[in-house]
């Protein structure tokens, strides 16, 4: 597991204590050498008490403005609030002279993302995007297989992030208001597109289908994205809340072999259940390992089981700590996030117009 160390811990202010803030960011920040969770910002009294119970030494603020008023006491702002607040809050934090981590998606458009990146560069401040799925166990395993040439030339990359939620849960993530930047395309789509770009590089063409399936749903809940990469790889990406039977997380076909992997990385479930990084973190049982082979289905014994590398979400914040002290690079740059937003915007246009979009 990657760790970062600094002589004096860097003080972190976390804006938002919903799912992203309480399940992902706060525990990972607290577990990172060189970082300390100083303040949690939430106006919700129940979440304020939850933060105090989970982190007894943490300070609590009701508004981001309270945090920015004492910017000199902090070293990093983490934004885990609703999507529509990402750009204005990041802008305010940068103006206050504070480096920023933002949960995905960075912004609603690539243009906003690039403007924010330019603002951070002008001020000489870190602006990083929390793309934690780069440290999923299955993605780390697949990335190594691709880099080692185990699959030969990759021809097609299939990635599925599917759920079975036949009843809408409501809230801003499922709002049809464009200002909320909701829907699966920008939620789970941010992950699968980012992973495809990391593995196979820039995209030349985008085709997408975005459908509203469930009664009462206001925005896309069943979406497919097809990408043509510059290097010729085709990525087929599926995100859905309406999948009654879940497909493989990855199915990757190459000139030498294919790789099939079922199931989700265990880190989110562990964090939701109160688990914290430590010995054995991110390790998956052997029966869930993916298989590499050719000519036969892995479900009937084809191929060879490949040990899944441990998932490592803590590596993201360890890298952030190193970047803030000049000991390493930004783990996920705003310009990388802007490239993914180019693809998401193209997918939105394609789904609306029924046409393939050229980038």
Q: What is the pLDDT of residue 3?
A: 41
Share of the chain above pLDDT 70, in %: 98
Please write the tens of the pLDDT for every residue from 240-253.
999 999 999 999 99
| Lookup: tokens for 188 | 């789970």
Q: Is 245 exposed, middle or buried (0-12, 13-18, 19+ CB in 10 A)?
A: exposed
How confident is the model over 350-358, as a mean pLDDT?
97
Handedness of CA 286, 292, 294, 297 (dihedral sign): positive
Please write the tens of the pLDDT for every residue from 72-93.
999 999 999 999 999 999 999 9
Q: Is 160 exposed, middle or buried (0-12, 13-18, 19+ CB in 10 A)?
A: buried
Q: What is the pLDDT of residue 301?
A: 83
Q: Is a pLDDT exceeding 50 seen at residue 2?
A: no
Of residues 8 and 328, more confidence is placed in: 328
Please write the tens of the pLDDT for every residue from 128-171.
999 999 999 999 999 999 999 999 999 999 999 999 998 888 77
How confident is the model over 337-355, as a mean pLDDT?
97
Cis amide leading into 105 (omega within 30)? yes
Q: Is a pLDDT exceeding 90 seen at residue 173?
A: no
Give the list of residues 6+ apart from residue 48 with CB closer than 8 angstroms, or none: 17, 40, 42, 60, 62
Q: What is the pLDDT of residue 225?
A: 98
Q: Is a pLDDT exceeding 80 seen at residue 125?
A: yes
45-63 burial: b if 16+ Cβ within 10 Å, else e: eebbebbeebbeebbbbee
Confidence of residue 6 (pLDDT cuts 50, 70, 90): very low
How confident is the model over 215-221, as a mean pLDDT?
86
Average pLDDT over the chain, rounded to whole? 94
Packing angle of the helix pair 86-95, 110-123 (nearest 10 deg): 10
Q: What is the pLDDT of residue 174?
A: 74
How many other CB atoms are there within 10 angstroms of residue 168's CB atom?
Answer: 17
Q: Is a pLDDT exceeding 60 seen at residue 275?
A: yes
CB 340 within 8 A of CB 106: no
How far from 307 is each of 41, 144, 328, CA to CA, in Å?
40, 11, 29
Confidence of residue 172 (pLDDT cuts 50, 70, 90): low
Three-state DSSP string of 131-161: CHHHHCHHHHHHHHHHHCCCCCCEEEEEEEE
115-119, 139-143, 193-197, 217-221: least confident range: 217-221
| Lookup: tokens for 351 | 């789904």
How confident is the model over 195-199, as a mean pLDDT?
98
Q: Is a pLDDT exceeding 90 seen at residue 68?
A: yes
How many other CB atoms are there within 10 angstroms of residue 268's CB atom?
Answer: 17
Alpha helical stretches, state H, the chain: 26-30, 45-54, 64-69, 86-95, 110-123, 137-147, 188-200, 267-272, 314-324, 334-353
């Amino acid at each position: 597991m990657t760790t970062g160390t600094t002589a004096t811990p860097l003080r972190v202010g976390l804006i938002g204590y919903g799912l992203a803030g309480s399940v992902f960011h706060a525990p990972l920040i607290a577990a990172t050498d060189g970082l300390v969770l100083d303040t949690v910002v939430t106006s919700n009294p129940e979440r304020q008490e939850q933060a105090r119970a989970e982190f007894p030494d943490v300070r609590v603020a009701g508004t981001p403005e309270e945090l920015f008023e004492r910017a000199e006491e902090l070293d990093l702002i983490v934004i885990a609030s609703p999507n529509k607040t990402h750009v204005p809050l990041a802008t305010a934090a940068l103006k206050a002279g504070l480096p920023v981590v933002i949960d995905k998606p960075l912004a609603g458009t690539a243009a906003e993302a690039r403007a924010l990146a330019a603002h951070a560069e002008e001020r000489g401040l870190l602006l990083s995007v929390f793309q934690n799925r780069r440290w999923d166990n299955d993605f780390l395993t697949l990335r190594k297989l691709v880099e080692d040439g185990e699959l030969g030339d990759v021809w097609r990359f299939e990635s599925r992030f599917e759920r079975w939620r036949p009843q809408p849960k409501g809230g801003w993530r499922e709002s049809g208001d464009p200002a909320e930047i909701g829907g699966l395309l920008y939620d789970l789509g941010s992950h699968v597109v980012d992973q495809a770009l990391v593995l196979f590089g820039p995209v030349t063409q985008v085709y997408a289908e975005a459908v509203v399936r469930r009664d009462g749903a206001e925005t896309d809940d069943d979406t497919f994205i097809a990408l043509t990469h510059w290097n010729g790889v085709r990525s087929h990406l599926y995100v859905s809340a309406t999948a009654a039977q879940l497909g493989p997380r990855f199915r990757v076909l190459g000139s030498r072999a294919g790789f099939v992997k079922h199931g989700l990385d265990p880190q989110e479930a562990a964090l939701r259940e109160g688990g914290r990084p430590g010995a054995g973190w991110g390790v998956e049982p052997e029966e869930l390992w993916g298989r590499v082979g050719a000519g036969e289905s892995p479900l009937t014994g084809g191929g060879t089981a490949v040990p899944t590398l441990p998932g490592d979400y803590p590596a993201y914040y360890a890298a952030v700590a190193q970047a803030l002290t000049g000991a390493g690079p930004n783990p996920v740059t705003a310009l990388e996030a802007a490239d993914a937003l180019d693809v998401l915007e193209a997918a939105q246009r394609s789904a609306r117009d029924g046409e393939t979009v050229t980038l």
